[in-house]
Structure 1
Amino acid sequence: MCGITARVGTDDSLDALLASLKNLEYRGYDSAGIAVQNGTGIKVSKHEGEVAQLESQLTSGDVFGEVGIGHTRWSTHGPPTNENAHPHTGCQGRVAAVHNGIIDNYTTLREGLQSRGHEFTSDTDTEVIPHLVEERLADGMAPEAAFRETVAQLDGSYAIAIIIDDDPTVYATRNGSPLVIGVGETANYLASDVPAFLEFTDQVIYLEDDDIAVITPDDYRISDGNGSWVPRPVETVDWDPEDAEKGKYDHYMLKEIHEQPTSLRQTLHGRIDGDDVILEEFPPGTFEGITRVQFVACGTSYHAAMYGEGLLSEWGVDANSFIASEYAAYPAPVDENTLVIGVTQSGETADTLEALQRARDRGARTLALTNVIGSTAARTCDDALFIRAGPEIGVAATKTFSSQVATLVLLGERLVRDVTGEPTDEHSQRLAALESLPGDVETVIENSQAAAVSRRCLGDTGHFFVGRGSAYSVALEGALKFKEITYEHAEGFAAGELKHGPLALVTPETPIFAIGTGRHQNRLESNVREIQTRGAPVIAVAPRTDSELADTADEFLPVPATHSALVAILANVQLQLVAYHAANEMDRSIDKPRNLAKSVTVE
């Protein structure tokens, strides 16, 4: 939630700050703002709405500076207004601050500041930060000391960056929210995520909790909360800057749907050798002694976790998936033989990180399955496995879901071999099908009739998605995608549950997407007939070889015939396209759906 960026150079930073904010809008787009300084004071410009609205008011040329910070907001404290937009300043205007996260004790801090004569102009928790820094500067503290003293008073989760008048420096820290430094040739950068400055540098330093970063035009220094210098490695990000651009596509979501063959090839590259799974991080025997697997995740990642749970359970491993926020509040039993896998695209999802911490505290082994090297989950878990999907900008996750599931299939094969001593049944066929998966996804995208189907669904009162086994998790994911970007009612169900209540909602105005994998088809066909008896149209998404389901359904979106464990991944691509085209027809804000942001770093 919220995107922070900063640039420290010897030339004007305005254009780079605006470009970085545009790159970060997937983290929030309720309001945006920048603050710059060039030795003659701090100039703040901010506006409710998207970055484009901020940019439109920066045409006079009076906002410029070598040092600057920026922010794009997802609202927590206070509505999205000009007053609540970041950056915030203190009474004297000497300090400007941007913040991602929540300051839990801001009410106490604010009351104390007000009792000492400070006046506030916003509803945000962030505004206490520049006031506290200014107070310490007024007491004669040096800027870095004033920042440290302020941070020591804050409780909660946060990433913070500030600038101070007459000081060509950005001061920053994090605790539970991500921050990364970009080391450039003529300037240095800071942001919540790498895509913010990827067009300027691919040299990055991931900050850890309680790090204090002091960034100048030609240097940076990182120390811990006690002021001791700490080395942090400089890493090279292998993402291409074009990966974070829309290119020829109208929306990031459509681009990322079309990128799935490439992202899957990256996911699978070097990890399958004939009948063997090759995971360099996890050689054979890595998981010997594991007797139980638990998945913790949120949203789309939770649906991928459910997919993984089903596979492992079928293959003889005790596995369960949990919504991370529920697991954090009501953790399941674990011991030293329990492996808890956090599935998180960003590696920064607050609920998932808390669930993993609960598991670690109680003696479980933890593993992060994530897309981001250097993320908090990757650094704090015992192990990490990367899905290698490349940057995903669209708020509605697409390519990361397919790469998460493909990675979970590989990890499952390794787990089963270590836990049971034997490979899974049909492992040869499944691995061969996995290698063919990128091409199969390409076939779906090239031949999909989802656009025509989606147009026939417009104006309906609800949309149901049903499936069995792995198709159940994809039914949930299909419904989530549809509701995320169309704002229309959509629900996913296990197909057998329809007759236990949800069938009461089925009418001729509730199209139902039935997802088939080639298994238990007789039962699914029976469910389809139950639905049609109530007058509802059925759109089947299943292997093209399933002629009976194709004949029974009112519409048919075929996918290539492949191993039944993987069919639902292909069906999911069709459902992504259905949601996209429906939302496009309805003129929705597809890449920036209302009230949502991509990285949920607050609880």
Structure 2
Amino acid sequence: MCGIIAARVADDATPYLLDGLERLEYRGYDSAGIAVRTSTGGTETIRSVSRVGDLRTLVAARSGDPFTGTGIGHTRWATHGAVRETNAHPHADCSGRISVVHNGIIENADRLREQLSAQGHVFASEVDSEVITHLVERALAVDPDLMLAVQIATAQLEGSWAIVVLDARDGRMVAAADRSPLVVARAARGDFVASDIGAIATWAETFVALRDGDVVELGESWTWSSRGEVVAVPFATPSPFAAEALELGDHTDHMAKEIEEQPGVVAEILDRIADRAVDGQLWRGLGLAPFERVAVVACGTSLNAGQVIATALRGLGGVPTDTVVASEADQAVLTPGTLVVAISQSGETADVLRALDRFADRHQVLALTNNLHSSLARRADAVLDCHAGPEIGVAATKTFTAQVVVGVSAMISALVASGRIDRSRALALVGDMQRLPGLLAGAAEASLDRIPLLVSSVRDASGFLFLGRGAGLPFAAEGALKLKELSYRWAEAYPAGELKHGPLALVTDGTPVVVVDNGEHKIQANVAEVRARGGFVITIGGAGADVPALGRDAGRLLSCRTDVTDQGMSLWGPLESVVPLQMLARELALQLGCDVDKPRNLAKSVTVE
């Protein structure tokens, strides 16, 4: 959610801070700010409750002492305290010497605030993060070493944190992390700190991720401690993507770009893993013990992807599955022999990580993530990389598709390795999957002209129903989620057979009802029920559908699913349906004047519970 950037460079730090904050905008935020050391040894803090562009304007308009090359920046997504400038980061201590930016939640902040206030510390904000500045200030009053002060301060915290502390007096900078992501990097231009490598990828080709309990001082040489003990600086890791991958190119928005990238992403994934899925080596390489049951643990779009993966496992191998909403994991009871498949695009989803607090000691955990350096990856027994590349749009598109393809491939490999299916069947199943890039491209082609016209007919509707049956249901759920996220209109997904048990009361003249028609034989009767009550039906299916996007292989319209060898993909659903569903949500949002890359109140990396 919140974003951190820090720089120690030879020239003015503000361009780096502002550029980094703009690259962090996709994470979601409601205020932004920077604190930069000045040439006279002070710190100037500039904050805004508008966009980073407004902050850039404020910086350009300032007058005063020149800025140095040492500074910190932050984008805040409000948790403690209202959205106002005094609650925006960075925060300072009583004297203005210490400035801090913080991601995470300090669970014992109220108790610490009471103690510090009783000792004479004066607080300027309502936020939990400010206690860190005063803890560092108190520690410095006893010992002048900044790194030791940060270690003392963080030892008193409960919760999660990624922080950067700046001392205006001497320009020292210390970073620390526990259960919240933070990376440091050394490049030709200087040292950088960020909550996301994408924020600094333009300047840094390698990075080091802080592990829980790490405290690092940046300087001519780095000093690195882990749980209070000085350790060698870990080896740097190459950046997982090129800086140009973050640029829009010829696209109007990142979402459009990322929808278009899906066929290529899937093709690359299959090139990497298809052969190893067929012979079981993909699974064997994970080093996991045999399982009798699988529990998918995830949130939001990742939960929908997990539903598809679970459907594949049941349909292809007859393996029983559970689907656990991560924020409700306390209510779940998992049987012995259950493998937990934890899914998170960022690998930092707080609800998923807290769910593992409950499950990890008793069950093996397989992480499915787009970030191999994440907290989830570190905590799991085995990890699968989604290989989706950077995704800037807050609403997930290509990461959903990648999660499904990697997850289903892994389950096919597991079924081969456990003897539940033979290699010849796996070969046929993976052969079917090789058609996916063409199917996704064909779906985009079929949707391009139809979606804008359909959206213009329903743009004034206050709410939408999304229907599916069987393997199509998780895709209907994902379509409804996308529309809610982007257009701010109500959208609910239901099994089509549940219409007569309540939701049909919502249908009146013109009510938009989006139907994922993947050939389930009873769905036409459900469509007839809607039409009989005046509903405006939009079918996404094969030939004859309002959006004939299913089974269309790169411009060649095929009969819906009947040509699939062994009906492999029909058992886990029409993945290409997500393309028109994503395009539908995006088009409605655009026609309503919404920002499709940065929907309100939402964040890419959900690091709070």
Q: TM-score, normalised by structure 1?
A: 0.94
1:13 corresponds to which residue? Answer: 13
State the alpha-carbon separation in 2 of the partners of residues 72 and 601 from structure 1.
14
2:464 corresponds to which residue? Answer: 463
2:439 corresponds to which residue? Answer: 440
State the alpha-carbon separation in 2 of the partners of residues 45 and 148 from structure 1.
27
In the alignment, is residue 528 of structure 1 matched against residue 534 of structure 2? no
> Which aligned pairs between 1:54-93 and structure 2 lie closer than 5 A?
54-59=55-60, 60=62, 62=64, 64-93=67-96
1:316 corresponds to which residue? Answer: 318
State the alpha-carbon separation in 2 of the partners of residues 266 and 602 from structure 1.
32
In the alignment, is residue 168 of structure 1 matched against residue 171 of structure 2? yes
Residue identity matched to 2:397: T
Q: CA deviation at 1:568?
A: 2.2
Distance 1:262 1:170, change over 3 A: farther
Q: CA deviation at 1:65?
A: 1.9
Helix, strand or coil: the match of 2:165?
A: strand
CA-to-partner distance for each residue in 1:128-152, whole Å, 9 max, x for gaps? 1111211222234311111111111
**Contact map agreement 1:29 1:51 (CA 8 A) in 2:** no
2:555 corresponds to which residue? Answer: none
1:556 corresponds to which residue? Answer: 547
**Contact map agreement 2:442 2:549 (CA 8 A) in 1:** no
State the alpha-carbon separation in 2 of the partners of residues 35 and 324 from structure 1.
36
Distance 1:61 1:417, change over 3 A: farther
CA-to-partner distance for each residue in 1:457-515, whole Å, 9 max, x for gaps? 11112111111122111111100000101000101111111111111111123211110
**Contact map agreement 2:549 2:576 (CA 8 A) in 1:** no
1:228 corresponds to which residue? Answer: 230
Counterpart selection for 2:596 from 584, 590, 596: 590
State the alpha-carbon separation in 1 of the partners of residues 185 and 324 from structure 2.
35
Q: Quick check: 167-176 or 455-464, which moved more?
A: 167-176
**Contact map agreement 2:42 2:168 (CA 8 A) in 1:** yes
> Which aligned pairs between 1:411-422 and structure 2 lie closer than 5 A?
411-422=410-421
CA-to-partner distance for each residue in 1:428-472, whole Å, 9 max, x for gaps? 443223112112212222331212212211111211111112211
Q: CA deviation at 1:331?
A: 3.2
Residue identity matched to 2:304: H
CA-to-partner distance for each residue in 1:82-110, whole Å, 9 max, x for gaps? 11110000110000000111111111111
Q: Sequence identity, in percent?
A: 38
1:213 corresponds to which residue? Answer: 216
Helix, strand or coil: the match of 2:272?
A: coil
In the alignment, is residue 158 of structure 1 matched against residue 158 of structure 2? no
**Contact map agreement 2:279 2:413 (CA 8 A) in 1:** yes
Runs of 5+ consecutive residues of structure 2 not aligned to the other structure: 553-559, 562-568
Q: CA deviation at 1:247?
A: 2.0
Distance 1:182 1:318, change over 3 A: same
State the alpha-carbon separation in 1 of the partners of residues 453 and 20 from structure 2.
37
Q: CA RMSD in A?
A: 1.9
Q: Quick check: 575-584 or 306-315, which moved more?
A: 306-315
Q: CA deviation at 1:278?
A: 6.4
**Contact map agreement 2:444 2:549 (CA 8 A) in 1:** no
State the alpha-carbon separation in 1 of the partners of residues 401 and 186 from structure 2.
32
Helix, strand or coil: the match of 2:161?
A: strand
**Contact map agreement 1:334 1:359 (CA 8 A) in 2:** no
Runs of 5+ consecutive residues of structure 1 not aligned to the other structure: none
Q: CA deviation at 1:224?
A: 1.1
**Contact map agreement 1:189 1:197 (CA 8 A) in 2:** yes
1:350 corresponds to which residue? Answer: 350
Counterpart selection for 2:273 from 268, 271, 274: 271
Helix, strand or coil: the match of 1:353?
A: helix
Residue identity matched to 1:577: M
In the alignment, is residue 537 of structure 1 matched against residue 530 of structure 2? no
2:582 corresponds to which residue? Answer: 576
CA-to-partner distance for each residue in 1:342-364, whole Å, 9 max, x for gaps? 01101110111111232112x21
State the alpha-carbon separation in 2 of the partners of residues 509 and 423 from structure 1.
50
Q: Quick check: 297-306 or 233-242, which moved more?
A: 233-242
Q: CA deviation at 1:535?
A: 0.8
Q: CA deviation at 1:38?
A: 4.2
State the alpha-carbon separation in 2 of the partners of residues 220 and 55 from structure 1.
30
Helix, strand or coil: the match of 1:177?
A: coil
Helix, strand or coil: the match of 1:65?
A: strand
Q: Quick check: 174-183 or 286-295, which moved more?
A: 286-295
**Contact map agreement 1:416 1:424 (CA 8 A) in 2:** no
**Contact map agreement 2:311 2:572 (CA 8 A) in 1:** no
State the alpha-carbon separation in 1 of the partners of residues 79 and 253 from structure 2.
27
**Contact map agreement 2:3 2:195 (CA 8 A) in 1:** yes
State the alpha-carbon separation in 1 of the partners of residues 285 and 518 from structure 2.
30
1:300 corresponds to which residue? Answer: 301
Residue identity matched to 1:227: E
Residue identity matched to 2:30: D
2:48 corresponds to which residue? Answer: 47
**Contact map agreement 1:285 1:418 (CA 8 A) in 2:** no
Residue identity matched to 2:399: T
Residue identity matched to 2:372: I
In the alignment, is residue 114 of structure 1 matched against residue 120 of structure 2? no
State the alpha-carbon separation in 2 of the partners of residues 485 and 264 from structure 1.
24
Residue identity matched to 1:564: S
1:382 corresponds to which residue? Answer: 381
What is the total number of aligned residue pairs between the two structures?
588
1:511 corresponds to which residue? Answer: 512
Distance 1:566 1:200, change over 3 A: farther
**Contact map agreement 1:96 1:162 (CA 8 A) in 2:** yes
Distance 1:48 1:410, change over 3 A: same
Q: CA deviation at 1:287?
A: 5.1
Distance 1:79 1:418, change over 3 A: same
Distance 1:422 1:452, change over 3 A: same
State the alpha-carbon separation in 1 of the partners of residues 148 and 349 from structure 2.
31
State the alpha-carbon separation in 1 of the partners of residues 497 and 426 from structure 2.
28
Q: CA deviation at 1:75?
A: 0.5
**Contact map agreement 2:297 2:340 (CA 8 A) in 1:** yes
State the alpha-carbon separation in 1 of the partners of residues 531 and 446 from structure 2.
27
**Contact map agreement 2:147 2:215 (CA 8 A) in 1:** no
